[in-house]
């Protein structure tokens, strides 16, 4: 889907996959999707960032996010801000290549450990913020989880193995489960017909 508007100053590409939330996922799927999120788009060492920003120099930034807290199925989002003049279709093909690579080849032990360390470090940092802790517990409790689920989360993340992440990418990041949107600057004025 493409949305064009004369007011757009910065084009963007977003892709949303329909995936299970932590509550609706099978055992182990939620944590695997969280680790997959970190591997794909959780910072400057992530696969999307390295491919699109560093190697191919097509984007200013690239990230992924998994919206784990929901009562029903949720979303896995890929978001890219292209460099000026970059072709959005080419960026989309590069995203597909990154996903295909993860779905074909399990993540390396080093990449997997880095992603899990980043996720579990959030628990340590959250101890310094009562607001963030309240948010985590409140979000869990309002989506059908319990206090024990929140307390067990770091162990669930540490237990994720490369085969689980590989399987999550293969099953849930299927393009048939996704919608991709382009936001672009409108280059020619639109003439609307009146009824």
Q: Encode pLDDT of 119-162 as tens digits.
A: 888 877 777 777 877 877 888 788 878 788 878 888 999 999 99
Residues 153 and 80 sit within 8 Å (Cβ to Cβ): no
Confidence of residue 96 (pLDDT cuts 50, 70, 90): very high
Residue 11 CA, chain-centre distance (Å), reads 19
Mean pLDDT of the chain: 88
pLDDT at 188: 52
Q: Does CATH number 1.20.120.550 belong to domain 2-185?
A: no
Rounded to whole angstroms, the Cα distance separating 6 from 58 reads 22
What pTM does this model have? 0.86
pLDDT of 81 above 90: yes
Distances 195 to 190, 192 between C-alpha atoms, Å: 16, 10
Give the mean pLDDT of 28-47: 94
Could you tell me whether strands 59-66 and 2-5 are parallel, antiparallel, or unpaired per DSSP bridges?
unpaired
Residue 41: both structure tokens together? 């788009």
């Amino acid at each position: 889907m493409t949305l064009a508007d004369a007011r757009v100053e910065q084009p963007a590409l977003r892709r949303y996959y329909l995936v299970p939330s932590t509550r609706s996922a099978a055992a182990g799927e939620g944590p695997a999707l969280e680790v997959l999120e970190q591997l794909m788009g959780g910072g400057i060492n992530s696969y999307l960032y390295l491919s699109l920003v560093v190697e191919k120099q097509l984007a200013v930034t690239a990230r992924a996010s998994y919206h784990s807290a929901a009562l029903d199925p949720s979303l896995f989002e890929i978001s890219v801000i292209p460099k000026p003049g970059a072709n959005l279709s080419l960026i989309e093909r590069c995203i597909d290549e990154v996903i295909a690579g993860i779905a074909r080849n399990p993540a390396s032990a080093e990449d997997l450990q880095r992603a899990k360390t980043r996720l579990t470090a959030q628990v340590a940092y959250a101890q310094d913020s009562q607001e963030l802790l309240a948010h985590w517990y409140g979000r869990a409790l309002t989506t059908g989880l319990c206090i024990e689920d929140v307390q067990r989360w770091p162990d669930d993340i540490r237990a994720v193995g490369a085969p689980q992440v590989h399987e999550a990418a293969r099953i849930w990041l299927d393009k048939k489960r996704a919608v991709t949107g382009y936001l672009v600057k409108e280059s020619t004025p639109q003439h609307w017909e009146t009824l």
